[in-house]
Amino acid sequence: MKRKYGFVAVMLSAILVVGLGLTALYTKQEKAGEERGLKVVTSFFPMYIIAENIIGDSSQVSLENLSEPQTGCLHDYQLTPADMKLLSEADVFVVNGGGIESFLADVAASYPGLQIVNACEGMELLCEEEEDDHGHAHGDEGNAHAWMSVSRYMQLVDTVAGGLASADEANAKLYLENAASYRQRLLPLEEELKELKESVEGKTVVSFHEAYAYVAEDLGLEVAYTLDLDEERQISAGEVADVLGVIEEGARVVIAEELYGKEMGDTILGETDAQVIYLDTLVRGSYEKDSYLNGMEKNIRLLREAFTQ
């Protein structure tokens, strides 16, 4: 009888010690290498890459991204306790804006001291092509995937650099210099796009993600049909028929996203002789400085191949 209570006490304290011990070990590893200084948090991948290039190697500034790299596009993203913790320690929060960060209003209300840099501020975004009848929550501000256009991406870089410079005046010069040199490296991409534009302008394409509207804008392409495929979208048979109809009318190239558009792309390949290319929407990837450059270069190569064939 008494032994039972003893057993329970021993068991619970063992679980307590092991559980807390492992947790302490885990958090200790996390904390290593933490430094003080300006703390910049970005909302998702493209913003992180921009901030990374602007901040450069500065050791006084720490940069962290909110969502895991796998999260990708932020629609319907919910902040986790770790995100809240991160934001409560941050000085500057760099967001894309345009309604992609649906949680932004909550964040602004909870942390009034947090400086928010809105990259799309002052930019006129494209409107969503079709009536948004499937309730995809992009806010009311239209299509916010502006980073998909290289020239707009450069504007984003400038806006973020300006925002960071005014938030941290001590390093303002460094930020603006870094932004300028990053722009220099983006210029060849813009040139390439202009070159490609001359040969493809006016052609019609079908797009499987509204982000490609900006690619089409850069190249002067006409998007005949947008089927917004992403995380949780289930398509109906009627929509598939619509897409096939548009392709028969003359759209030779279908731009899709590998992760969510693959099955649909295969269907198109089987049913028609149109080209299907999988472009990176650049919302996930490795946290290297050149991720955007490399990803965009690959996209342009794929586009060129598809149109020259």
Partner 1 sequence: MEMFTVWWEYGFMRNAFFAILIITPLFALLGTMIVNNKMAFFSDALGHSALTGIAVGVVLGVSDTSLSMVIFAVIFALLLNKISRRSASSTDTIISVFSSCSIAVGLAILSKGGNFGKYSSLLVGDILSITGKEIFYLVLIFAATLCFWLLAFNKLNAISLNKTLAKSRGIRINLIENLFAVFLALIVMLSIKWVGILIINALLILPAASSRNIAENMREYHFFSVVFSMFSGMLGLIISYFTNVATGPMIVILASVIYFCTYFYGKKLD
Which residues form the interface with partner 1 (CB under 8 A)?
Answer: 1, 4, 7-8, 11-12, 15-16, 19-20, 23-24, 26-27, 76, 78-82, 84-85, 88, 133-137, 231-235
Strands 204-207 and 115-118, sheet pairing: unpaired
Of the two residues 76 and 266, which places its CB atom closer to partner 1 in the complex? 76
CB burial readout 31-60, b (16+ within 10 A) else e: eeeeeeebbbbbbbbbbbbbbbbbbbebee
| Strand partners for 225 | 206
Residues 75 and 135: beta-carbon distance below 8 Å:
no
CB of 141 to partner 1, least distance (A): 19
In whole angstroms, the minimum distance from the beta carbon of 75 to partner 1 comes to 8
Q: What angle do CA 39, 40, 41 make, to 5 degrees?
A: 120
Concatenated DSSP letters for 144-177? --GGGSHHHHHHHHHHHHHHHHHH-GGGHHHHHH
Indicate the residue among 68 and 177 with the shorter CB distance to partner 1.
Answer: 68
Nearest-approach distance from CB 139 to partner 1, in angstroms: 14
CB of 182 to partner 1, least distance (A): 32
Two tokens at 33?
A: 């290498």
Taking the least distance from each CB to partner 1, the nearer of 29 and 59 is 29
At its nearest, how many Å lie between partner 1 and the CB of residue 157?
30
* Structure-block tokens of residue 31: 């904390």
Q: Would you say 250 and 204 are in contact if contact means Cβ atoms under 8 Å apart?
A: yes
Of the pair 8, 108, the CB lying nearest partner 1 is at: 8
Instruction: Pick the closer one to partner 1 by CB: 207 or 275.
Output: 207
Pick between residue 84 and residue 127 the one whose CB is nearest to partner 1. Answer: 84
By beta-carbon proximity to partner 1, the closer residue of 23 and 199 is 23
Question: Smallest distance, Å, CB 63 to partner 1?
Answer: 19
- Residue 227 Cβ vs partner 1, minimum distance, rounded to whole Å: 11
73 to 78, 135, 230, 263, 282: CA distances (angstroms): 12, 16, 9, 20, 9
What ranges in 201-231 are assigned the alpha helix state H? 212-219
CB of 97 to partner 1, least distance (A): 21
Sign, CA dihedral 186-96-291-209, equals negative
What six digits make up the tokens of 151? 């020239």
Measured in whole angstroms, how far is the alpha carbon of residue 32 from the centre of its chain? 28
Smaller CB separation from partner 1, 182 or 225: 225
CB of 80 to partner 1, least distance (A): 7
Q: Which CB atom, from 5 or from 170, has the smaller least distance to partner 1?
A: 5
Cα end-to-end span (Å), the chain:
83
8 A C-beta contact, residue 123 and residue 152: yes
Residues 6+ apart with CB under 8 A from 269: 276
